Every structure is written in C-alpha cells, then in structure tokens.
Amino acid sequence: MPNSQVHKIAIIGAGPAGLMAAEQFSTPQGCFLRGALNGVNVDIFDAMPSVGRKFLMAGKGGMNITHSEALPAFIARYGQRAEKIAPLLAAFGPAELREWIAGLGFETFVGTSGRVFPTEMKAAPLLRAWLHRLRGAGVRFHVRHRWLGWQADGALRFATPQGEISLLADVVILALGGGSWAKLGSDGAWVPLLLERGIQVSPLRPSNCGFDVAWSTYFRERFAGSAIKPVIASVGSQSQQGEFNITENGLEGGLIYALSAPLRDVLEHDGKATLTLDLAPGRSLERLISDLSKPQGRDSLSNHLRRRVGIEGVKAALLREFSPNSALTVTDTLARAIKALPVPVIAPRPLDEAISTAGGVPFEVVNEQLMLNQLPGTFCAGEMLDWEAPTGGYLLTACFASGYVAGQGALNWLQRGSKWGGVGSNTDVDEVGH
C-alpha cells in the first residue's frame, strides 16, 4: 500500500546553501521521492524580512559566482579543510554550478582573472529566477522566523511576528551562515543552540578581514583611505602580489584578505604578527641598491626615492613609519627596507566586519552527507560548517556544494524510511505566515 504520510522538511536559513538544499527536492530524484512518499513539504525559514540578503550583497559589485581554475588548484584554496571540501566539490563543483546557472537561463563568462560571472553581472536576477523555480516546485518560504532551538520533544522553536511557534519535522537542514554581517542575517546566534544540544562548535573567527595597525597620528590623518599598489605581501612562507588600502584602524583590501588566515593564525598562536611588504616588486634588491647608490645631490630623500626607484606618497610614508631614521640614510638598509618592510599588526577587525567566517560545526561531527552524528535527520550546510576560503568565487561555490550534498543526504535519509522527531507539528506549518 502507498505510504500516506506527508513528510516535512524544515530548512533553516535562506542563503545559497539552504536554497540549494531545497532545490534537491525538485530534481528527478526528489520528484520520485515526492511520489513514493505521497507528499513532501519543503519549508524554508529565515529570520530576515527577505531571503538571500548576503548573497545579494556579494553580487553588488559584480556576481563572482565561482572560479575557472583547474579543480586540484581550486580545492587547494580551502587550506586545512581541502580534504573535507573535496568530496563536496566532486558532487557539485564549479562546472556543475555553471551548468546549474545555465538551467536558470543565465550564461556565464570567465573574466581576465579567471573568475566566473553571470553575464547579467548581478545577483538579483539570478535570485529572482531561482526563487520563482523553487516556489513553482512547491517550496514555501517563511520570513521573520528566527530559530530559537529545540523543545524537549525535539520540536523546532521559532520566534515570529505573531509570537512563538513550534513544529516537528522529519528532516531538518541547518544553513544558518557564519557570524559576519549580522545585519544581513549571519549573526552566529545558532552557536549556543547547538552547544546546548551537546554539538561541538569551533569558535567563530573572522576570515577575509582587515587588521588593526598602530599608526602614528600623522600617518593615520594623512594617509587613511590611500591605496597601496602594487606590492608583494608575505606572512611566513606565504606570499602574494596585489594591492590593499590604508584605513584609520589599519589595513584592508584584496591582498590583506588573501593572507588573512595565516596572519590571524599567527596572531592567535604568538600574540603578535608581522606583515612583510615588498614595496618594489619589479626590482631586485641588487638593482635597488645600484639605483639608490647614484648621487643624491641636492635632492631630499623623498625626491631621491621618487626619482631613482619610484617610491613616493604613501609608500614613502610607510617606509618612514616602520623604519628608523638611521636605516633610511644607508643605501643597503634602505633598499632592504623597501624589499622587506615589516608592518606589525595588532588584531583582526571584529567578526561582524569580516567578509566570511572561520570556525563552526567541525566536519568530524557530521557524516559524509553532512548529517550530525548526534542528531540523526539533522544536516548542516554552508558557512556554519568549519571551513574557510579566499574570495574569488570559492566561498559561494562551497556554500552551493554543501547545500547540494545536505539536500541529497536528506533525500537519502527519507528514502531509507528513517525519521527524526516524528511527523506532525505543534503548529501546523501550513498556518505559518509566508
């Protein structure tokens, strides 16, 4: 006899990971499951007034959806978690993501840096098309529903404009984001809720973030807002060329974000860290010494640096900020300072200012389908898992991939006939405001 139960899937968090998890219930496999179980209700809950807010912000300056580099190099971008992210990307990687976008009616192209963009260049049209397809597949959205954890019987608790509600679900997919950009919904409020249930959570830490530097008053007032380019920045054995900006508090920008993980880790381990800058990446130390050895004549040091080696403005000010006067008057030490200027950093900027988050639910407490070992039927996806990556499409790709794997895991869980928490609810989800 056919199973007459209507199975309930609750997805908490309406960012890319949560939406991609919901998408799996409109795939051929998901459609088969709907028929086999005679009904699957998929409901997405989000604390914000609208969905996908951080996704929209990420696409404000151009929707960098993924990257075109070869998959082995792509996977290596995830650093210490590369081994854990690799199976997710094998299931749904950059190529599958571009194909999925094409299925929504959007072409993609590869930019000069290797980054991949939709031809529309914006996130909003892509999100609108995606939500339209999900609603057409029967997915229901409930905004202004903040998750409050579990009741004693396993029911989910939500704070809503109409008061608190609770409901039981057969499958729960948590896609609550990290702890950065709280105003867009990623506030890390889920951490104590999981800890209360005995779920291990690694502390949330800023990633792709700026850092504080103890500028002199003169330097801060004169050069805050200035761009430094091009330079090579190094932390230990890791080096990268690019550019960054001086802020009132310190440093920020693409080059700083790229090295934020090792810089943060050194700070946490040693209590101090140094960013080493090569202010003249196009010149060898030997050439700098030769150029600076030419007669200075009546030129000031500033004019001599500008005329002989192209160091001026904020770069020259950086030299003065972190080099003793005695070093600036000796050719060899001046050249060495230009090639390896030590800039001590004090601390990363606050978590809420970071682009993304490190820390979260360790992969060791979930199975290969991202189901929590201690809570069968409950899956985790997206940035709330403990991984990090640089900007350039890597963050979004892993969010999509983890949502895909968690959604597929939920399908498999239901197909095996397993249930968590029972069917039914203290408040029927059909009565929840959409």
From 34, 50, 24, 43, select the one nearest 2 (Cα to Cα): 34
**pLDDT at 28 > cutoff 70:** no
Exposed, middle or buried by CB within 10 Å (0-12, 13-18, 19+), for 289? middle
Q: How far apart are CA 286 and CA 281, in angstroms?
A: 13
Report whether 145 contacts 153 (CB < 8 A). Answer: no
Task: Examine the fold and report which residue of 314, 348, 382 is the final residue of a domain before the chain moves on.
Answer: 348
pTM score, whole prediction = 0.89
Both structure tokens of 356: 């993304």
Task: Examine the fold and report which residue of 348, 380, 405 is the final residue of a domain before the chain moves on.
Answer: 348
Q: What value does the mean pLDDT of the chain take?
A: 90
Q: How far apart are CA 217 and CA 232, in angstroms?
A: 26
Does 1 reside within a domain?
A: no
| Co-location of 141 and 115 in the same domain | yes
Which region among 30-44, 139-153, 276-290 has the lowest average model confidence (pLDDT)?
A: 30-44
Q: How far apart are CA 173 and CA 403, in angstroms?
A: 9
Report whether 206 contacts 263 (CB < 8 A). Answer: no
Prior bond of 206 cis (ω within 30°): no
Task: Examine the fold and report which residue of 319, 348, 377 is the final residue of a domain before the chain moves on.
Answer: 348
Q: pLDDT band at residue 30, thresholds of 50, 70 and 90?
A: low
From 140, 86, 77, 79, select the one nearest 114 (Cα to Cα): 77
Q: How far apart are CA 325 and CA 239, in angstroms?
A: 27
| Co-location of 252 and 271 in the same domain | yes
Prior bond of 362 cis (ω within 30°): no
293-299: average pLDDT: 81
| Co-location of 258 and 378 in the same domain | no
| Co-location of 169 and 287 in the same domain | no
Does 371 reside within a domain?
A: yes
Q: pLDDT band at residue 29, thresholds of 50, 70 and 90?
A: low
Instruction: Give me the domain span that covers residue 301.
Output: 211-348
Which region among 120-124, 154-158, 362-366, 367-371 has the lowest average model confidence (pLDDT)?
A: 120-124
| Co-location of 294 and 201 in the same domain | no
pLDDT (tens digit per residue) in 92-134 = 999 999 999 999 999 999 998 999 999 988 899 999 999 999 9
Q: pLDDT band at residue 8, thresholds of 50, 70 and 90?
A: very high
**pLDDT at 420 > cutoff 80:** no
Does 278 reside within a domain?
A: yes
| Co-location of 321 and 377 in the same domain | no
Query: Domains in the chain: how many in total?
Result: 2
Does 340 reside within a domain?
A: yes
Report whether 156 contacts 10 (CB < 8 A). Answer: yes
Does 2 reside within a domain?
A: no
Backbone angles phi, psi at 347, to 5 degrees: -165, 155
Does 240 reside within a domain?
A: yes
CATH of the domain at 172: 3.50.50.60
